[in-house]
Amino acid sequence: MSTIPITPEVADEPWVLPDKGTVGMACLIVAESAIFLIFVVAYIFYMGQSLGGPTPQQVLELPIFTTICLLSSSLTLHWGVAALRKSKVGAFTAWLAATFTLGTIFIVGTGMEWHHLIYVDGLTIRTNLFGTTFYSLVGLHATHVIVGLAMLLVALVAALTGHVKQEHAHRMDVLSLYWHFVDAVWIVVFTVVYVLGR
Amino acid sequence: MADFVTSLPSLEAIDATPAQKPRRLMTEILYDWVTTVDHKKIGLMYIGSALLFLVAGGIEALIMRIQLAVPHNTFVSPEVFNRMFTMHGTTMVFFMGMPILFGFGNYLIPLMIGARDMAFPRLNAFSFWVSLLGGLLLYYSFIGGSGLYGAGTAPDVGWFAYAPLTAKAFSPGHSTDYWTISILLSGIGSIGTALNIVATIISMRCPGMKLSRMPLLPWLYLVLSNMVFITVSPLTAAQIMLMFDRYLGSHFFDTQAGGSAVLWIHFFWIFGHPEVYILVMPAFAFMNEIIPVFSRKAIFGYPAMVAASVGIGFVSMSVWAHHMFTVGMGAGANVFFVLSSMVVAIPTGIKIFNWLATIWGGKVRFATPMMFSVGFLFQFLIAGLTGVMLAAAPFDWQLHNSYFVVAHFHYVLVGGILFAFFAAFYYWYPKVTGRMMNERLGKWHFWLMVIGFHMTFDFMHIPGILGMPRRVYTYEPRPGWEALNLIVSIGALFQAIAILLFVINLIRSNYKGDIAGNDPWDAWTLEWSVTSPPPVYNFATTPVVYSRRPLWDIKHPEDPDWNYE
């Protein structure tokens, strides 16, 4: 029994499995997608069902500028990770800073929009079904942007203090996967809330 | 290391010297358990906490059965009865079912796929503790549910908590909030562990273990974990909405402001029905491991088993509204959900036939794990048949929310899933502790459980057909109802005694059981190649596998499995 049995003649193919960080993030994205899906379904289900105003037509404006900022931040992060893969740490840091700035502009824009809605238009989460679904869906997305910004900030601080090297590129891949997901969700939210819902 | 990584762990490679550990303080041991990130310890903590909640939920069930044993009983008040069925359902699904399945998964998956640990050990510990916190919060509601000024109260809105009963106006106090937040936390823990299981299975299999060579237990956990992402997340979203409604005054389920109560029903059952399949998948997984070993045959139809599991996973996503035939969805939706629900019977039937074919012609050993497995096969089949009956909308209109439904799903949960978990306990206990569980006590446990189970849940169908609704705290002395309810309650007592014997066996065997050795059942999967209990590092050298039954290949080098796969 102690002898190892003859093994079948197999070509010694290298045993490579997918990166666990990528798989884990993919799983998280599936789960998060399901959460967003429920909020989007609730939004669509309650479209035009509010018993009183204000309505989306009266108060919502297309957030074109912040949308462009958020979507382009995906590109800058992509270029950043590509630079890191080629060991260009300086370029990576610059692209990362750009990504963080663009994301921050988006979240500040959302904050200003909410401030206007609450104090000028008098729309809160209690006002009507539109307020309920709008703040929870956009707020859920904004929460994800803030979490992403926090992680980008950690990476940025690490990069600025010289702790990021080429071998960390696959970790940045995992982070950028999350960031692309947040951007993709915004396309859905934008379409549902600002295009179909108006 | 690369030179060693070429074969199964040979016996020399296993560090068999029993580490003579110095006696340690209780606090040190406790510190070890609280801070551990080892998948085996976390798995055991999951199972231990689940057993505690099983006892709590069981006591709640007994209280209900005492109350219903005779008509016009006043053992508990209607308010307490409402709390009992709410807490019983919530506890058993979220704090017994989910933790125990993740416990077994945590313990077994890395050992079965030849890995050192789970993919994300710290996430693993986090998921366990956050789930446990959820369970403790749920039970804290007994003390804090009305705030500190008044007597305690537990949630009483039912385990599916239909709106608008959960609105602040109808459920004042904090008991519903404890219910919401405990389920929210349990959901976060479930998603975390499911993510961990998928990443472990996809990324950490030992060399040679292609997906087509992986044991069926990891396969089923892979399917159920993917289901967790798609089904537990909607519940999490719905609980967030409910919290917004109760705390921020939003109107998701507020019918006064145009909100929809039906939307909650949809959201809940989008979670609720696939959840049943999440709970039953581990039972399938245990059958897939236990039945072949005790029939001395390889599993029949491995690819069909995998395909059927994936099929159940997909179909189960589209059956939720068979809980809603009485809501009034219209003929089109009803027909769709009738058909999709009945389709589930096909992959499930494939599984039953494959297990039967595995047993067929085998040299069957009726040790306790196999007895519970055979019990599972019969009872799960009957549970499935009443399921097909209830999937027919007109039949459901008649029996919706009656004791027939309660009997049906307890047939699945107790007769199917709990029996399978008992089989798994008897089967893997020697691996975990190094000692066998007592066979004699095990047989007593099995037979008392069978008798009690059938007394309770066979006879529970009939009051349902006679028109007894679920969740009534008492009833009129009508012909037939009295005797049947009394039999049902006596059966519950038998089950309680059986489970008491099981707990005694669990504890006693840890000290007095026969020494098990590495491989007491002469089994074929990798976990039996390491010592019992397994060393912290699992495998001294990374195993390499060439077939679905690596230990068979070691034991029978003249006739290895890879010749046939």
Q: What is the pLDDT of residues B285-321, one digit of tens each?
A: 999 999 999 999 999 999 999 999 999 999 999 999 9
Chain A nearest C-alpha distance from B189 (Å):
12
Selected residue of B250, B263, B548 to mutate for chain A interface (largest A Cβ count, 10 A): B250
In a domain, A39, yes or no: yes
Q: Which of B452, B480, B518, B424 lies closest to B107 in space, CA to CA? A: B424
- Check if the beta carbon of residue B50 is closer than 8 Å to that of residue B96: yes
Taking the Cβ of residue A35 and every Cβ of chain B, the question of whether any pair is shorter than 8 Å is answered with: yes
Show me where the domains of chain B are located. 48-563
Taking the Cβ of residue B343 and every Cβ of chain A, the question of whether any pair is shorter than 8 Å is answered with: no
Selected residue of A4, A10, A39 to mutate for chain B interface (largest B Cβ count, 10 A): A4
In a domain, A132, yes or no: yes
Rg from Cα positions in chain A: 22
Taking the Cβ of residue B255 and every Cβ of chain A, the question of whether any pair is shorter than 8 Å is answered with: no
Q: Which of B119, B230, B251 sits opposite A24 (nearest CB)?
A: B119
Total residue count of chain B as it appears in this document: 565
CATH topology (fold) of B48-563: Cytochrome C Oxidase; Chain A (1.20.210)
pLDDT at A114: 96
Greater pLDDT, B482 or A6 = B482
CB contact under 8 A, B194 and A18: no
- Check if the beta carbon of residue B232 is closer than 8 Å to that of residue B187: yes
Q: Which of A1, A20, A35 sits opposite B204 (nearest CB)?
A: A20
pLDDT band of residue B4 (cuts 50, 70, 90) is very low
**Residue-wise pLDDT tens digits, B356-374:** 999 999 999 999 999 999 9
d(C-alpha B43, C-alpha B34), whole Å: 13
- Tell me the mean pLDDT in the region B524-544: 93
Q: Which residues of B touch A50 (CB under 8 A)?
A: 258
For B469, the 3-state DSSP assignment is strand
Taking the Cβ of residue B555 and every Cβ of chain A, the question of whether any pair is shorter than 8 Å is answered with: yes
Tokens representing B159 are 């385990």
Rg from Cα positions in chain B: 24
Selected residue of A13, A35, A141 to mutate for chain B interface (largest B Cβ count, 10 A): A35
The pTM of the full predicted model, rounded to 2 decimals, is 0.93
Report the half-sphere exposure of B499 (CA within 13 A, side-chain side): 21
Q: Which of B279, B273, B186 lies closest to B236 in space, CA to CA? A: B186
- Tell me the mean pLDDT in the region A145-149: 97
d(C-alpha A95, C-alpha B407), whole Å: 61
Q: Which residues of chain B from 227 to 246 reach within 8 Å of chain A, CB to CB? A: 228-234, 236-238, 240-241, 244
In a domain, A108, yes or no: yes
Report the percentage of chain A scoring pLDDT > 70.
94
- The question of ipTM being above 0.90 is answered as yes
Tokens representing A120 are 């000028």
Q: Which residues of chain B from 174 to 203 reach within 8 Å of chain A, CB to CB? A: 191, 194-196, 198-200, 202-203
In a domain, A113, yes or no: yes
Sign of torsion over alpha carbons B373, B375, B378, B383: negative
pLDDT at B85: 95
Asked which of B146-150, B243-247, B508-512 is least confident by mean pLDDT, the reply is: B146-150
**Residue-wise pLDDT tens digits, A43-100:** 999 998 888 889 999 999 999 999 999 999 999 999 999 999 999 999 999 999 999 9
Q: Cβ–Cβ contacts within 10 Å for residue A104, how many?
A: 17
Q: Which residue has the tokens 């049947």?
A: B484
pLDDT at B123 over 60: yes
Asked which of A135-144, A159-168, B350-359, B441-450 is least confident by mean pLDDT, the reply is: A159-168
Report the percentage of chain B scoring pLDDT > 70.
95
Q: What is the DSSP string of B378-432?
A: HHHHHHHHHHHHHHSHHHHHHHTTBHHHHHHHHIIIIIIIIHHHHHHHHHHHHHH
Taking the Cβ of residue B289 and every Cβ of chain A, the question of whether any pair is shorter than 8 Å is answered with: no
**Residue-wise pLDDT tens digits, B257-280:** 899 999 999 999 999 999 999 999
Nearest 5°: CA angle at A133, between B247 and A182? 105
**Residue-wise pLDDT tens digits, B144-178:** 766 555 445 888 899 999 988 999 888 888 889 99
Q: Which residues of A touch B251 (CB under 8 A)?
A: 126, 128-129, 132
For residue B317, what is the DSSP state? G
Chain B nearest C-alpha distance from A39 (Å):
7
Q: How many domains does chain A have?
A: 1
Strand-pairing partners, residue B435, are B515
pLDDT at B23 over 80: no
d(C-alpha A139, C-alpha B178), whole Å: 24
Q: What is the DSSP string of B212-257?
A: GGS-HHHHHHHHHHHHHHHHHHHHHHHHHHHHIIIII---TT-GGG
CB contact under 8 A, A129 and B8: no
Domain that holds residue A191: 21-50+63-196
Residues with Cβ within 8 Å of A82's Cβ and at least 6 positions away in sequence, in order, are: none
CB contact under 8 A, A31 and B232: yes
- Check if the beta carbon of residue B434 is closer than 8 Å to that of residue B40: no
Selected residue of A9, A16, A38, A147 to mutate for chain B interface (largest B Cβ count, 10 A): A38
Residue type (1 letter), B182:
S
Taking the Cβ of residue B259 and every Cβ of chain A, the question of whether any pair is shorter than 8 Å is answered with: yes
Q: Which residues of B touch A37 (CB under 8 A)?
A: 234
Selected residue of B190, B213, B233, B242 to mutate for chain A interface (largest A Cβ count, 10 A): B233
CB contact under 8 A, B195 and A50: no
d(C-alpha B301, C-alpha A193), whole Å: 50
pLDDT band of residue B6 (cuts 50, 70, 90) is very low
Q: What is the DSSP string of B427-450?
A: HHHHHHHSBPPPHHHHHHHHHHHH
Q: Which of B12, B119, B554 sits opposite A20 (nearest CB)?
A: B119
Label each residue of B486-538 as H, E or C. Answer: HHHHHHHHHHHHHHHHHHHHHHHHHHHCCECCCCCCCCCCHHHHCCCCCCCCC
pLDDT band of residue B563 (cuts 50, 70, 90) is confident
Tokens representing A6 are 């003859």
Percentage helix, strand, coil for chain B under 3-state DSSP, each rounded to 5: 70, 0, 30
Tokens representing B372 are 């519970």
Residue type (1 letter), A183:
D
Q: Which residue has the tokens 């893969």?
A: A85
CB contact under 8 A, A34 and B207: no
Taking the Cβ of residue A32 and every Cβ of chain B, the question of whether any pair is shorter than 8 Å is answered with: yes
Asked if the bond preceding A63 is cis, omega within 30° of 0, the reply is no
Residues with Cβ within 8 Å of B213's Cβ and at least 6 positions away in sequence, in order, are: B545, B546, B547, B548, B565
For residue B174, what is the DSSP state? S
B435 φ/ψ angles, rounded to the nearest 5 degrees: -130, 150
d(C-alpha B561, C-alpha B565), whole Å: 7
In a domain, A13, yes or no: no
For residue B211, what is the DSSP state? G
Selected residue of B123, B188, B201, B202 to mutate for chain A interface (largest A Cβ count, 10 A): B202
Taking the Cβ of residue A31 and every Cβ of chain B, the question of whether any pair is shorter than 8 Å is answered with: yes
CB contact under 8 A, B248 and A126: yes
- Check if the beta carbon of residue A5 is closer than 8 Å to that of residue B553: yes
pLDDT band of residue B3 (cuts 50, 70, 90) is very low
**Residue-wise pLDDT tens digits, A13-28:** 788 999 999 999 999 9
- Check if the beta carbon of residue B42 is closer than 8 Å to that of residue B129: no
Q: Is A102 exposed, middle or buried (0-12, 13-18, 19+ CB in 10 A)?
A: buried
- Arithmetic mean of pLDDT over chain B: 92
CB contact under 8 A, B11 and A2: yes
Sign of torsion over alpha carbons A106, A109, A115, A116: negative
Taking the Cβ of residue B251 and every Cβ of chain A, the question of whether any pair is shorter than 8 Å is answered with: yes
Interface A-B, measured as beta-carbon pairs within 8 A, has a size of 135
pLDDT at B142: 85
CATH number at A169 reads 1.20.120.80
Q: Which of B344, B340, B349, B495 lies closest to B415 in space, CA to CA? A: B495
- Check if the beta carbon of residue B488 is closer than 8 Å to that of residue B471: no
Taking the Cβ of residue B263 and every Cβ of chain A, the question of whether any pair is shorter than 8 Å is answered with: yes
Q: Which residues of chain B from 435 to 494 reach within 8 Å of chain A, CB to CB? A: none
In a domain, A10, yes or no: no
Q: Within B244-327, where are the H helices?
A: 261-295, 302-315
pLDDT at A3 over 50: no
pLDDT at B441: 96
Please provide the distance, in angstroms rounded to a whole number, between the alpha carbons at the two ends of chain B: 30
Q: Which of B10, B225, B228 sits opposite A4 (nearest CB)?
A: B10
Taking the Cβ of residue A38 and every Cβ of chain B, the question of whether any pair is shorter than 8 Å is answered with: yes
- Tell me the mean pLDDT in the region B542-551: 92
Q: Which residues of B touch A15 (CB under 8 A)?
A: 207-208
Chain A nearest C-alpha distance from B439 (Å):
29
pLDDT at A52: 86
- Tell me the mean pLDDT in the region B383-393: 94
Taking the Cβ of residue A9 and every Cβ of chain B, the question of whether any pair is shorter than 8 Å is answered with: no
Q: Which residues of A touch B250 (CB under 8 A)?
A: 125-126, 131-132, 135-136
Q: Which of A81, A84, A87 lies closest to A99 in space, CA to CA? A: A81
- Tell me the mean pLDDT in the region B27-43: 94
B471 backbone φψ class: left, alpha, beta (φ>0; ψ -120 to 50)? left
For B461, the 3-state DSSP assignment is helix
- Check if the beta carbon of residue B232 is closer than 8 Å to that of residue B140: no
Report the percentage of chain B scoring pLDDT > 90.
85
For residue B112, what is the DSSP state? H
Chain A nearest C-alpha distance from B159 (Å):
20
